[in-house]
Amino acid sequence: MACAKLNAASSQWIGQQSFTQRQGSSSSTRFATRRVSFPIRAKAYNEELVQTAKTIASPGRGILAIDESNATCGKRLSSIGLDNTETNRQAYRQLLLTTPGLGEYISGAILFEETLYQSTTDGKKFVDCLRDAKIVPGIKVDKGLVPLPGSNNESWCQGLDGLASRSAEYYKQGARFAKWRTVVSIPCGPSALAVKEAAWGLARYAAISQDNGLVPIVEPEILLDGDHPIDRTLEVAEKVWSEVFFYLAENNVLFEGILLKPSMVTPGAEHKEKASPETIAKYTLTMLKRRVPPAVPGIMFLSGGQSEAEATLNLNAMNQSPNPWHVSFSYARALQNSVLKSWQGRPENIEAAQKSLLVRAKANSLAQLGKYSAEGENEEAKKGMFVKGYTY
């Protein structure tokens, strides 16, 4: 991609910066100014985007991420002895999306494309199940990670080609927000090329999503892989987010109509010393306050391989005092792990599995409000889920 070669100094090609140009001969000290005006764009969906983002970033609620690709969903199903078939994927996602009372704790659900177009076994569209529960349907729109040529064994995220037309179709189907995940690896450097490519791709995706009525979740995941200390994670996170917001602004993205899905600032998963929830909260909020404008309505953290209990405790620690944004969750494994183990693919276990989902959703709801206590958490919820080199 040619855009991978962009840098801050060369960004004037966009033609939207206002500047004063010096003119005249060397014998003259006079200056003339040439005004370059900023474009004013009235986007058709702006009011709706802001309202959607506010709805998702509502007190005590967060996002259920069930946007795993078919291959990744297959890994989840195989862990309980089920084959990776569309029927089994549908059964599992039906279990999740029809859980009674889920909307009390969940404001949005990220779906894979297959799920967006599926219905329950009774014929009710999944998007209608969500709407009835006051949950906003969302859609994963990226096409996955591929090797980034010229980098230090790093990746870039594909999917911009055809994104506008796909997004318009997703909107017609009922989706109102989107997700695009790219990654940054600390053990791989990260290289300036990889950081810039991640930031530029996210910004282009965000602009295209907003043009088609979808609130973009901006997610540059800084992977847990590595043995680095927490200070190194903070350094990289600050660099990544400064690049991301630079390019979001260059692409005229409406900040009030986006959501972020950052990693928490933690030590590398293989670092010899673990950090406490209080330390993780301190470092993470420091990074956010330095890099994220208060216009952004919601910060919906990913769990990134933390245990269910860890992800909840860390979120709770970040909500012990007021923040400029709604600080909440967008968890996949940290909401689903107990559900799968309760279900085991058996119809008679559906009710128990749905209760497991509500337990985790309520715990994270309380953490969003800063009122969670780990008292009574079972040992299963404390087991870490980090997988080195994990792919979605």
Helix, strand, coil percentages, rounded to 5, for the chain: 45, 15, 40
Q: Find the radius of gyration of the CA atoms of the chain.
A: 22
At residue 44, the pLDDT reads 86
Which string of b and e fits 183-215 if b means at least 16 CB within 10 Å?
bbbbebbbbebbbbbbbbbbbbbbbbbbbbbbb
Handedness of CA 261, 266, 267, 269 (dihedral sign): negative
Structural tokens at position 164: 């506008």
- Backbone angle region of 389, left / alpha / beta, with phi > 0 → left and psi within -120 to 50 → alpha: left
What residue type is 146 in one-letter code? V
Helix (H), strand (E) at residue 352: helix 350-368
Nearest residue to 240 via CA among 204, 205, 192, 281: 192
CB 287 within 8 A of CB 352: no
Q: What's the pLDDT score for residue 11? A: 31
Write out the two tokens for 210.
Answer: 């907003």
Going by C-alpha positions, the residue among 184, 185, 268 that lies closest to residue 227 is: 268
- Checking 51-56 for CB contacts under 8 A at 24+ apart, the result is 52/136, 52/176, 52/177, 52/215, 52/257, 53/177, 53/215, 53/256, 53/257, 53/258, 53/259, 53/297, 53/298, 54/297, 55/107, 55/136, 56/107, 56/108, 56/136, 56/177, 56/215, 56/259, 56/298, 56/300
Task: Tell the residue number behind the tokens 């990744």, with chain if given.
Answer: 72
Alpha-carbon gap, residue 253 to 249, rounded angstroms: 6
Cα separation, 174 vs 250, whole angstroms: 29
Q: What is the pTM of this model?
A: 0.86
Helix/strand/coil for 348: helix
Cis peptide before 190 (omega within 30 of 0): yes
User: Which of 301, 2, 10 is closest to 160 using CA atoms?
Assistant: 2
- Report, as residue numbers or ranges, the catalytic residues: 219, 261
Rounded Cα gap, residues 190 and 192, in angstroms:
7
Query: What CA–CA distances, in Å, run from 207 to 16, 140, 162, 260?
Result: 15, 15, 14, 14
The predicted structure's pLDDT at residue 5? 35
Instruction: Look at residue 6 in the predicted model and tell me its pLDDT.
Output: 35
Within 13 Å and on the Cβ side, how many CA atoms surround 42?
0
Is residue 354 a contact partner of residue 92, using CB atoms and an 8 Å limit? no
CA distance 235 to 242: 11
pLDDT at 161: 96
Q: Which residues of the chain have a pLDDT value below 50? A: 1-31, 385-387
Backbone angles phi, psi at 220, to 5 degrees: -95, 95
Strand partners for 62: 106
**Sign of the alpha-carbon dihedral angle for 212, 296, 110, 200:** positive
Residue 142's Cα: distance from chain center in Å? 12
How high is the pLDDT of residue 7?
39
